Amino acid sequence: MSSVTVGIPTLNGGRVLEGALEALARQTVAHELLVCDSGSSDRSVTVAREHGARVIEIPRASFNHGATRNLIVGEARGERVALLSQDAEPADARWLERLLGGFELAPGVALVYGPYRPRPDASLAVRMELERWFELLSPDGAPRVDRLAHGERAIPAMELLGRRGFFTDANACLARAAWERVPFREMAYAEDRALAMDMLRAGYAKVFMPEAAVIHSHDYTAVQQLRRCFDEWRGLLEVYGWREPAGPLRIARQLAGELRRAHEELPSMEHGSAADAATLASVSRHHVARLAGAMLGSHADRLPAGLRRVLSLEGRATFEPLTPRRRQ
């Protein structure tokens, strides 16, 4: 059995997939490369095989975020299984080495994950959002270990919202033995958040490794941003029962805070006044769309299925609140 597998779900990955595969070829740790493709019409399957990947092909209609990742981990030959999204490119040659190092930081580590870094051409709003969130996970830049004490394992899901329960499978590594006990839920979205909660409640630890970074960001249009955030906040409602607090004054304060932070960034960007104004307008659009999507997603359970489908970037009409998993 190989010591580690890197698994990637793909669908028309194009150039970003090629970039991820090229970065994987430079890793300091030898690994099996496993790709699960769900009906690409471009060269994704061919490119994956050219890079030495073993490829599993499934029908597009059978793709499910949780179930497909279970398929990948189940097919993997490694005792550790690293997961990437097709557009997450390891930032350097030691990415996998650093992820694997997280398993040595505490007993019973099941999950290790790292941050996203914005692409070089990312907008200011996207760059600020990513950098601020991942800095909050580890303000001192050191690895972060999270574990629930035995008496905490039945705490309400809401108490795992935020840093303590956060996990992303777009840049992660799993211990196969732990996954065999606690697999992904077969969920359409937020499967990584649910897995982290289930692993913590089963007594495992998770580790954030700030240096195990991938290049991964999206500059959406305002409409795409709203729809993406609708999906994100619907997921938070499904997993944690979280509803984003609303109110005109709170929203105005949030937007004012984002614009203030963006304005502080402008002197380092060497723009003229016209460019500065355009940048601030872009930040405003980004956050107005984000807040609108958050408000709508936070009330997805109260919306008709047809409207949920229209609002969803993934075209998903369902609302499926997470049910407690039987204690392991």
DSSP percent split of the chain into helix, strand, coil, nearest 5: 50, 15, 40
135 within a domain of the structure (yes/no)? yes
317 within a domain of the structure (yes/no)? no
- Spatial distance between the Cα atoms of 89 and 72, rounded to a whole number of angstroms: 19
Average pLDDT of span 241-266: 81
Mean model confidence pLDDT for the chain:
93
> Which structural domain range is residue 277 located in?
222-311
171 within a domain of the structure (yes/no)? yes
**Strands ordered across the beta sheet of 214-215:** 89-90, 214-215, 116-117
323 within a domain of the structure (yes/no)? no
Tokens of 20: 């991820």
Q: pTM, whole model, 2 decimals? A: 0.92
Q: Is the pLDDT of residue 279 over 80?
A: no
328 within a domain of the structure (yes/no)? no
Q: What is the pLDDT of residue 1?
A: 38
Q: What is the pLDDT of residue 190?
A: 93
Average pLDDT of span 153-172: 96
Domain identity same for 169 and 251: no
- Enter the DSSP assignment of 28: S
Q: Sorting pLDDT into bands at 50, 70 and 90, what band is 249? A: confident
* Residue 6: strand pairing partners: 33, 82
Domain identity same for 226 and 211: no
Domain identity same for 134 and 258: no
Tally the domains of the chain: 2
Domain identity same for 208 and 256: no
Average pLDDT of span 292-301: 96
* Burial status of residue 75 (CB atoms within 10 A of its CB: 0-12, 13-18, 19 or more): middle
Domain identity same for 58 and 206: yes
177 within a domain of the structure (yes/no)? yes
Domain identity same for 208 and 244: no
Domain identity same for 262 and 133: no
Average pLDDT of span 1-29: 93
Domain identity same for 210 and 131: yes
Q: Which of 44 and 2 is assigned the larger pLDDT? A: 44
CB atoms within 10 A of CB 60: 11
Domain identity same for 195 and 279: no
Mind listing the pLDDT tens digit for each residue in 34-90? Answer: 999 999 999 999 999 999 999 999 999 999 999 999 999 999 999 999 999 999 999
Q: Sorting pLDDT into bands at 50, 70 and 90, what band is 270? A: low
Q: Sorting pLDDT into bands at 50, 70 and 90, what band is 255? A: confident
288 within a domain of the structure (yes/no)? yes
Residue found under tokens 């970039």: 19
- Enter the DSSP assignment of 302: G
Mind listing the pLDDT tens digit for each residue in 200-215? Answer: 999 999 999 999 999 9
Mind listing the pLDDT tens digit for each residue in 174-189? Answer: 999 999 999 999 998 9
Angle formed by the axes of helices 191-201 and 222-240, to 10°? 30
CB atoms within 10 A of CB 303: 18
Q: Sorting pLDDT into bands at 50, 70 and 90, what band is 327? A: low
- Residue 213 half-sphere exposure toward CB, CA atoms < 13 A: 16
Q: Which of 187, 215, 243 is the last residue of a domain?
A: 215
Domain identity same for 267 and 209: no
Q: Which of 215, 239, 259 is the last residue of a domain?
A: 215
Q: What is the pLDDT of residue 301?
A: 97
Domain identity same for 21 and 92: yes
Closest by CA position to 242, among listed 158, 302, 166: 158
Q: Which amino acid is at 256?
A: A
Q: Which of 166, 198, 215 is the last residue of a domain?
A: 215
Domain identity same for 74 and 210: yes
CATH of the domain at 186: 3.90.550.10
- Enter the DSSP assignment of 167: -
3-state secondary structure of 31: coil
318 within a domain of the structure (yes/no)? no
- Are 96 and 6 within 8 A, CB to CB? yes
Alpha helices in 212-272 (DSSP H): 222-240, 248-265
Tally helices (H) and strands (E) across the chain: 11, 11
